[in-house]
Amino acid sequence: MGQFESKVALVTGAGSGIGRATALAFAREGARVVVSDAVPESGEQTVRIITTDGGDAKFLQANVTVSEDVQGLVTGALKAYGRLDYAHNNAGISGSTAGVVAADIPEEAFDRVIDVNLRGVWLCLKYEVPAILSSGGGAIVNTASIMGVVATEANPAYAASKHGVIGLTKSFALAYAGDGLRVNAVCPGYIDTPMFDRLRADPGRAQSIIARHPVGRLGTAEEVAQAVVWLCSDASSFVTGHALIADGGYTAQ
């Protein structure tokens, strides 16, 4: 029996990468999992993996930038399983603007990154909090990034959005600390997921990025998923408002 038996977890951006790995990790620990993604095919594939392994999962499509979608997602989770105990607000985009000087980034590109990565997390928190409180409390983990604690000249919109996610995390953690709801963030370094694949087109750049990690490699989605699971577990019962860095030493330099 897993540590999350009889519990329900919601994961956004669960169609691939860190989100999929976290959904699978929750399922292995016995949770019933609400898998959400903007792309149905990817989300449904995650559900198939879980159910093939004997788990219980349901896919609900949602665009985290649309309030009605997010509200419907949480309502759908409650309708499907009757409760909500954990949430991993993971949906996000890189919004790469490589080669563009910071002040020259188009407004629409900046707005898109903030809309998905920051406002999307806020909307998820807005609707998840009442649902989790009504279920007796639980935990939420938001996906920030090492770019939430340091920055890069290559993508200021991404850094701004992830710094904002950490700010939201701390604010919500303080607001509900006395109500049995813990809110934390995970800050991955560069992870070997489809989001990194676009960088592989430039082998020199990819190797340069890998070399910035003192451990000498990229992280794996499964490693980040384990951090998320720990932040939701009773093992971290005194941890809230924390941004857990999982970066192979990147930010220690």
For 128-167, how does the pLDDT look when each residue is reduced to its tens digit (9 = 90+)?
Answer: 999 999 999 999 999 999 999 999 888 899 999 999 999 9
| Rounded (10°) CA dihedral 116, 118, 123, 126 | 160
96 CA to centre of own chain: 18
pLDDT value of residue 99: 63
pLDDT band at residue 209 under the 50/70/90 scheme: confident
Q: How many helices (H) and strands (E) does the chain have?
A: 9, 7
Helix, strand, coil shares of the chain, percent, nearest 5, are 55, 15, 30
pTM over 0.85: yes
In this structure, what token pair is assigned to residue 130? 């009442």
What is d(CA 141, CA 69) in angstroms, rounded to the nearest whole number?
A: 20
For 10-52, how does the pLDDT look when each residue is reduced to its tens digit (9 = 90+)?
Answer: 999 999 999 999 999 999 999 999 999 999 999 999 999 999 9
For 167-176, how does the pLDDT look when each residue is reduced to its tens digit (9 = 90+)?
Answer: 999 999 999 9
* The CATH number of the domain covering residues in 8-252: 3.40.50.720
Q: What percent of the chain has pLDDT over 90?
A: 86
Q: How far is CA 96 from CA 29, 93, 153, 198, in A?
A: 35, 8, 12, 10
In this structure, what token pair is assigned to residue 108? 């629409």
Please tell me which residue in 158, 176, 190, 250 is annotated as part of the active site: 158
Quick check: 201 pLDDT over 80? no
pLDDT value of residue 98: 61
pLDDT value of residue 202: 73
Sign, CA torsion 46/50/51/52: positive
What is d(CA 222, CA 92) in angstroms, rounded to the nearest whole number?
A: 17
48 CA to centre of own chain: 20
pLDDT higher for 198 or 162? 162
- Amino acid 111 reads D
Q: What percent of the chain has pLDDT over 70?
A: 98
Rounded to 5°, the CA angle 247-248-251 comes to 60
What is d(CA 221, CA 216) in angstroms, rounded to the nearest whole number?
A: 16
What are the beta bridge partners of residue 141?
Answer: 88, 184
* Residues 105-115, mean pLDDT to the nearest whole number: 94
* Residues 107-135, mean pLDDT to the nearest whole number: 97
Active site residue 176: no
